[in-house]
Copies of this chain bind each other. A is one copy, B any other.
Amino acid sequence: MSTPRPRRHDPDRRDRIIDACLDVIAEHGVAGTSHRRVAAAADVPLGSMTYHFDGMDALLREAFTRFADQVATLAERRMAAAGSLEEALDAFAANIEEDVFGTQRDLVITHELYTLAARRPEYRDITTAWMARTRATLEPFVDSTTAVLLDAMNEGLSIHRALHQHSPRPGLAREAIARLVRPAL
C-alpha cells in the first residue's frame, strides 16, 4: 500500500504553514502565492489550507503580521541595549545596514507588504503598528519629529538597497542619521 501519508496529529502544522507562506511570498510574490504552492512548501495536504485558514487573505494577514512582529522585536532588542544617544544612533544605523534588510528575503517580503498596504487599507494596521514600534525605540533619545525622519530614512535607504545593483557605501546610514539628528546648539 506504500505508506499512505501517516501524518495525523501534527501540532504546529498551522505554524509551519505560516512560515512556508512567507517563503513563498519571498520567492513568488503575493501575486504568485497560492494555496497549492504554500501547501507544497509546508509539506501539507492541499485540503489542509482551507481547513486551517479562511482563505488566502486570512493567511496573508497572519503571515505578514508574524513577519512584522519578528523584525520589530529584533530591532527593539538592539535598541534596548543602548545607554546613550550615541549608542542608540549606532544601533539604529546597524539595524538599517544589517538586520532589517540584511537578507534579500526580508527585503522582498517587506516590499510585498508595503505594496499590499498601499493598495488595501485593511493591511495598514500591520504597517502602522510596525512603524510605531520602530519609532518608539527612538523616542527615549530624540524628539518625535526626528524619530519620524529617522524612520523615513530607514525606509528610504532600504529601498535604495533593494533597487540598486551595487551596495551603498558603508557608513552612509550613519552619516544620514548624524545629519538628521540636529545637535542642540
Instruction: Identify the A interface with B (CB < 8 A).
Output: 26, 29-32, 104, 107-108, 111-112, 114-119, 121, 124, 127-128, 131, 145, 148-149, 151-157, 159-160, 162-165, 168, 172, 175-176, 179-180, 182
Contacts and interface: CB of A to CB of B under 8 A. Distances in A.
A155 B159 contact: yes
| Count of chain copies | 4
A159 B162 contact: no
A156 B163 contact: no
5 contacts: A131-B163, A148-B168, A152-B176, A155-B159, A179-B180
A172 B128 CA distance: 18
Given A179-B182, A180-B179, A148 B160 contact: yes
